[in-house]
A and B are shown apart, each in its own frame.
Chain A
Amino acid sequence: MSFISRGFKGRGRREGAAGRLPPGQYLEHGFPVLSAGPTPHTPLDRWDFTMVGQVDQVRRWTWDEFLALPAETITRDIHCVTKWSKLDSTWTGVSVDTLLDGVETSADYVLAFCDGGYTTNLPLEDVTGGKAWIAYAYEGQPLAPAHGGPARLLVPHLYFWKSAKWVRGLELLAADQPGFWESLGYHNRGDPWREQRYWGDE
């Protein structure tokens, strides 16, 4: 049993969000921005997306090639480790399954890498099977640079730092390798429903 805070009543009882807010999260109606440094601005004619590491052959798409791939529009709840959750956000992008189609790999992990040097690590099974996308539009509009545009990884079932902004590719790896925040005290997997925020959380 937790310590009861004298005189605290709390504002929301999560009406309208029943069952959709993971422990410790609150409902946010705006869209906060969080990142470790300045927002990179990569011109689209210099942008590409690559699939490297343990692959039979490196895959590379230019921006135009990427937009020509089959796209999906999905609506998901997102959960940030800084405690806000946003319900029903709508994104358009390419499923990671589509990008991995035809790729031969024995890898079990991926490391997403980004402009600005940010990385985040995930088990391959967290980005396959309809669980992850490279998103380039948010609510029908091109993704703004502050929110990760031109394109960001979207892995809505994990804390949002796993949805790396300004993503430029995936490195397929045999062994897990902690990314940026995962090396700085944040949980390696980051499942919001198990409240895996920091090192040592379950």
Chain B
Amino acid sequence: MGAVPSRLSWRVATVRAVQPETQRVLSLVLDVPGWDGHQPGQHIDVRLTAADGYQAQRSYSISSAPEDPAITITVERLDDGEVSPYLADVLRPGDGLELRGPIGGWFTWTTQDGGPLLLVAGGSGLAPLMAMLRHRAARRSTVPVRLLYSSRGFDDIIYRAELDRLVSHDPDLAVVHTLTRSQPPGWTGYARRIDGAMLAAVAWAPEARPLAMVCGPTPMVEAVADALVALGHDPGRIRTERFGPTGG
């Protein structure tokens, strides 16, 4: 234990809770022994090992705030995937899960970074941005934030109740949804993929120099980052995280 940067060693966390979020997405609450905390936006690497020694690793963003004693990851189940169905279907409270982290020093935001802060998410790409919103709420920060969040349908909106609750008593937070595939009767919000016109309406003007954090599937992230640059936003103020797996 010295000043040497500590090795990101593998450790076995314990699943404390499994929380369904939507039909295809759930959160795993993990107790990690000796966890040193994280910055909102960082991720962990998960490693699964079969009895014959075969291993698979994947990355998952931390969706909980650093102020929360447990860490939470929010996983979208891909039917033909290798790791996400295991996390979604097999893990139960009390099970162990090997992981290491926190990882990533670029796609992060803390209240000290200030704002205004523009968050743009697609699907499970909300996970690292949720860590930022939860951190901001835990600190009672008044940094202005706008979240533009694209989901397939109303029931696919992750953390919907929590977002509603956060917005209801926070004048400095705005959440705008767009539903790309299906909309409930009477829906008056956006009903298309995020485009330049939508960003122009939701984001601050480029002169306000918002810091933009964009996370989701690759085509969505590419389109949003390109549109923000085209609107005149400084490319140096746009940070992106792509979840893959496949794209462009």
Contacts and interface: CB of A to CB of B under 8 A. Distances in A.
Contacts of B218: 32-33, 146
Contact of A5 (B50, B59, B104, B242): B50
A6 B95 contact: yes
B89 to A, nearest CB: 9
Interface stretch (A8-16, A91-99, A123-131): A8-16
A2 B82 CA distance: 19
Contacts of B229: 38
A32 B8 contact: no
B246 interface: yes
B19 interface: no
A11 B50 CA distance: 10
Interface string B1-18: 000111110101000000
Interface string B52-87: 011111110000000000000000000000100010
B54 A184 contact: no
Contact of B98 (A3, A13, A25): A3
B90 A6 contact: yes
A201 B8 contact: yes
B21 interface: no
A31 B219 CA distance: 12
Contact of B246 (A3, A31, A40): A31
Contacts of B49: 2-5, 8
Contacts of B247: 30-33, 146
B202 interface: no
B96 interface: yes
Contacts, number: 134
A interface bracket (residues with beta carbon within 8 Å of B): 35 or more
Contact of A82 (B47, B59, B90): B59
Contacts of A20: none
A30 B235 CA distance: 27
A82 B240 contact: no
A34 B246 contact: no
Given A5-B86, A38-B238, A198 B103 contact: yes
B139 to A, nearest CB: 23
Given A30-B245, A38-B228, A12 B240 contact: no
B238 A10 contact: no
Contact of B50 (A8, A181, A197): A8
A104 to B, nearest CB: 35
Contacts of A181: 106
Interface string A34-55: 1111111000000000000000
Contacts of A201: 7-8
A198 B102 CA distance: 11
B55 A2 contact: yes
A23 B49 CA distance: 12
A106 B176 CA distance: 56
Given A36-B106, A117-B236, A12 B7 contact: no
Contact of B86 (A7, A23, A31, A197): A7
A84 interface: yes
Interface string B173-190: 000000000000000000
A200 B103 CA distance: 12
Given A10-B56, A33-B222, A35-B242, 17 more contacts: A2-B49, A3-B10, A3-B12, A8-B86, A11-B56, A25-B57, A28-B245, A29-B246, A30-B246, A31-B246, A33-B218, A33-B248, A38-B229, A39-B222, A117-B236, A185-B104, A201-B8
20 contacts: A3-B49, A4-B49, A8-B56, A24-B47, A32-B218, A32-B244, A33-B218, A35-B240, A35-B242, A37-B225, A37-B235, A37-B236, A37-B238, A38-B226, A83-B59, A146-B218, A146-B222, A146-B247, A183-B105, A198-B103
Interface of A: 2-13, 23-26, 28-40, 82-84, 116-117, 144, 146-147, 180-181, 183-185, 197-201
